[in-house]
């Protein structure tokens, strides 16, 4: 087992990564000072496989927890679903020390975290991510949110969990597409922070794509270390943390343009990273060989580089609805090299549209 600490002063917590974390979960819950009643939020994909497993574990730790399954998919990340969960918390008799457990992927974690942050002005929150994407990205860092019809993640908070438990055994039940979408975010960490890690992915394609256990442990731990390091320096995204948005400006527009149904998040991020690489080259920040390495790795890990069903005009319009846009200016995270990125809020329209032409 590996433990990755997230250092945030009084909001610090640990990420536990390994195969079979039952004892760690039980021990943590017995020592956490929780009230006896709690709630497990999961979805219709994960609940039938792991809901009873976690409920039994928590009961062994002395907690009475109910399981609430939301419909799987991005459409559940809504104010309407949050209200249903608030009602469940009230009906269950949960108080200010009652924990909310997020068991599932990023949608479950974002929604459950938003509910935990808001119910009684904040109750304890524990992440038990079961998808590769959630383990390496959304479960770490304390961003919780629901979507609005006009944009993704526009209503939310920074709210840190008390702990994150990443049981690698849960990855064994993932469909191939869910593995690949997680790899999209993993590639991002190499580009923004660690050239050696990017090289590791290039050199171990087969083990990476098949989630061989040693590769899965290394990728998950290294991704969490990078994100923890960035978040520890900039919890509220006032500066450095913005680098984690590499690929996401175009990705969110692609997701919105395709109704959040055609591409899952990691696929959209893969296309968005290609767009950002093209912009970086057009500005003279990197040469074509760097763009080629990014595209090659994305393709080898079974991810798309073009967005079907999108137009340049629609994508360009929607980047201004992104929550990272300030004063009408889009802040792009762009490449200086593999392992180094920077922010730029003054990218000319023609360069952005030129890059978008290449990804639609």
Write out the catalytic residue numbers. 121, 143, 185, 227, 237, 241, 245, 248, 252, 265
Q: Are strands 163-167 and 125-129 parallel, antiparallel or unpaired?
A: parallel
Rounded Cα–Cα distance for residues 220 and 140 (Å) = 11
* CA triple 262-268-270, angle to 5 deg: 135
Rounded Cα–Cα distance for residues 214 and 56 (Å) = 28
Nearest to 325 by CA among 343, 351, 306: 343
Q: Which helix (H) or strand (E) holds 133?
A: helix 132-133
102 in Cβ contact with 90 (< 8 Å): no
Q: How far is CA 248 from the centre of its chain?
A: 11
The residues, any chain, with a CB within 8 Å of residue 338's CB and separated by 6 or more, are: 190, 191, 195, 198, 290, 293, 294
The residues, any chain, with a CB within 8 Å of residue 210's CB and separated by 6 or more, are: none
Phi and psi dihedrals of 357, rounded to 5? -55, -35
Q: Is 53 exposed, middle or buried (0-12, 13-18, 19+ CB in 10 A)?
A: middle
Provide the H-helix boundaries in the chain: 22-31, 52-60, 79-92, 106-118, 132-133, 176-193, 195-203, 205-209, 213-233, 248-257, 265-282, 288-300, 312-318, 349-359
Tokens at 299, concatenated: 């393709």
3-state secondary structure of 174: coil
Distances (CA, A) of 150 to 76, 77, 155, 329: 15, 13, 11, 18
């Amino acid at each position: 087992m590996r433990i990755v600490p997230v250092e945030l002063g009084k909001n610090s917590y640990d990420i536990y990564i390994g195969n079979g974390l039952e004892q760690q979960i039980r021990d943590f819950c017995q020592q956490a000072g929780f009230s006896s009643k709690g709630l497990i939020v999961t979805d219709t994909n994960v609940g039938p496989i792991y809901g009873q497993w976690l409920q039994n574990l928590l009961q062994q730790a002395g907690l009475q927890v109910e399981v609430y399954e939301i419909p799987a998919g991005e459409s559940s990340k809504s104010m309407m679903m949050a209200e249903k969960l608030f009602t469940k918390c009230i009906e269950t008799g949960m108080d200010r020390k009652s924990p909310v457990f997020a068991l599932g992927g990023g949608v479950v974690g974002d929604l459950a975290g938003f509910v935990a942050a808001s119910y009684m002005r904040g109750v304890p929150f524990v992440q038990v991510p079961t998808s590769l994407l959630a383990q390496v990205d959304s479960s770490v860092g304390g961003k919780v949110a629901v979507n609005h019809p006009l944009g993704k993640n526009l209503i939310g908070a920074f709210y840190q969990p008390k702990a994150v438990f990443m049981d690698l055994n849960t990855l064994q039940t993932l469909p191939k597409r869910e593995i690949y979408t997680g790899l999209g975010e993993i590639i991002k960490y190499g580009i923004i922070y660690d050239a050696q890690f990017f090289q590791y992915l290039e050199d171990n394609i087969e083990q990476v794509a098949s989630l061989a256990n040693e590769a899965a442990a290394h990728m998950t731990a290294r991704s969490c270390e990078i994100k923890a390091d960035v978040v520890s320096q900039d919890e509220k995204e006032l500066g450095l943390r913005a680098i984690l948005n590499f690929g996401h400006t175009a990705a969110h527009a692609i997701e919105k343009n395709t109704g959040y149904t055609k591409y899952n998040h990691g696929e959209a991020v893969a296309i968005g990273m290609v767009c950002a690489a093209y912009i970086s080259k057009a500005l003279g920040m990197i040469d074509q060989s760097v763009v080629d390495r990014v595209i090659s790795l994305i393709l080898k890990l079974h991810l798309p580089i073009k967005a079907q069903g999108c137009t340049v005009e629609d994508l360009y319009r929607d980047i201004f609805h992104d929550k990272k846009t300030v004063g009408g200016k889009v802040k792009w995270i762009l490449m200086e090299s593999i392992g180094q990125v920077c922010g730029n809020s003054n990218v000319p329209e023609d360069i952005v549209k030129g890059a978008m032409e290449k990804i639609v």
